Structure 1
Amino acid sequence: MKILILSDSHGLTSELKQIRDQHTGMDLLIHCGDSELQAEDESIKGYTVVRGNCDFEAAFPEDRVEEVGGLRLFVTHGHSYSVKSTLVNLSYRAREMEADIVCFGHSHYLGAEMVDNTLFINPGSIRLPRGIREKTYIILEAKERDIILDVYDTATGKIPELSQKFSLAKKQ
């Protein structure tokens, strides 16, 4: 199972289309907010989208839960959970939602880490990255509960040295 995760495109349209068209065969495309687009915009079609702090589209929910390939994903932008300073608030919500994986944005910092047996993923930003120059997004590949995260730059493609592997604990 493969999931494409991106965030913080801040008005970009051709890049969203290019990424979508380049990675066919995904089981799910996730946009973690701050698209600054309307729901009917052609460039966002096919993406599962949440509302960021720079979005005003009422059709985009604040948070959502997606179940794919036996995994439960909690998707949010993160601004309502103060993710720029801590993951504690988001980890409490993830536990309430019984999430295996949390996808969020807002900070524009690329990162992934395990917190209390939940994988937290921030794909960075495809417009205004922080901490690195690359404009990043992630492709998650899951085989059972083993996860591979591959990081891509919009200009140069896959960045092998940033790939990571995680193993989710078995559900009780």
Structure 2
Amino acid sequence: MRIICVSDNHGNTYYMEELLSIYQEEADEWIHCGDSELLETHPLWQNYRTVRGNMDIAEGFKTERVEELEGDRFLIVHGHRHGVKRSYNELKTRALEENCQFAFYGHTHIPKVEEEDGIFFINPGSIAQPRDREIGTYLIMDLDKDNHQVSFIYYDRDHNEVKELTKSFNLTD
């Protein structure tokens, strides 16, 4: 399963539309971790599953989502209500309550993936307004359940792999 994940585009739709045109045929799912600053009626939401961030004015977005895809459960939040700038404690609690192995979040504008107690905490960074680099980032997550592997491949918005961020993990049953 291949998931494309972005966050914090802050009104810029160009890169999200470009990702759709590039990965349309090979992506199984599209995740957006909030702060889009777009209305609920925007055509991008026909593809991306999104949540409400602290800068979003659209009332129709959920503050968190739990999605089940091919038997795996995914928690999607923006992160501002879960204290992600301090720790993963609140996000971890929600992931455990919802029986999710993968917790996607945004808000910090800093791309990273970490595993703690069997839960993967995944931030694609900001595609439009990065805080720790010059060029925004997005993430492709490849989940290969047959080989018990998950890969998190980061790209800058010019579609160059950011090798120092890319990680692969063995999954345990």
Shorter-chain TM band: over 0.9
Range with bigger deviation, 137-146 or 159-168: 159-168
Structure 2: gaps spanning 5 or more residues: none
CA-based RMSD of the aligned residues comes to 1.3
Residues 111 and 165, structure 2, Cα contact 8 Å, conserved in 1: no
After superposition, residues 43-58 of structure 1 pair within 5 angstroms as 43-58=44-59
Instruction: Report how far residue 150 of structure 1 moved.
Output: 0.7
What is the CA–CA distance in structure 2 between the aligned matches of 1:148 and 1:97, rounded to whole Å? 23
What is the CA–CA distance in structure 2 between the aligned matches of 1:108 and 1:157, rounded to whole Å? 18
- Which deviations, in whole Å up to 9, do the C-alpha atoms of 1:13-60 show, x marking residues without a partner? 122111111112211100000000001112443100100000121221
What is the CA–CA distance in structure 2 between the aligned matches of 1:21 and 1:73, rounded to whole Å? 24
Residues 16 and 44, structure 1, Cα contact 8 Å, conserved in 2: no
The alignment of Structure 1 onto Structure 2 pairs a total of residues equal to 170
- Which deviations, in whole Å up to 9, do the C-alpha atoms of 1:78-116 show, x marking residues without a partner? 000111111111111111111010000000111100011
What residue is the counterpart of 1:149 in the other structure? 152
What is the CA–CA distance in structure 2 between the aligned matches of 1:73 and 1:104, rounded to whole Å? 11
Q: TM-score, normalised by structure 1?
A: 0.93
What is the CA–CA distance in structure 1 between the aligned matches of 2:65 and 2:44, rounded to whole Å? 20
What residue is the counterpart of 1:162 in the other structure? 165
After superposition, residues 79-90 of structure 1 pair within 5 angstroms as 79-90=80-91
What is the CA–CA distance in structure 2 between the aligned matches of 1:59 and 1:158, rounded to whole Å? 34
After superposition, residues 23-102 of structure 1 pair within 5 angstroms as 23-24=23-24, 25-102=26-103
The runs of 4+ residues in structure 1 deviating greater than 3 Å are none
What residue is the counterpart of 1:8 in the other structure? 8
Instruction: Report how far residue 161 of structure 1 moved.
Output: 4.0
What residue identity is the alignment partner of 1:28?
E
Range with bigger deviation, 75-84 or 65-74: 65-74
Residues 110 and 122, structure 1, Cα contact 8 Å, conserved in 2: yes
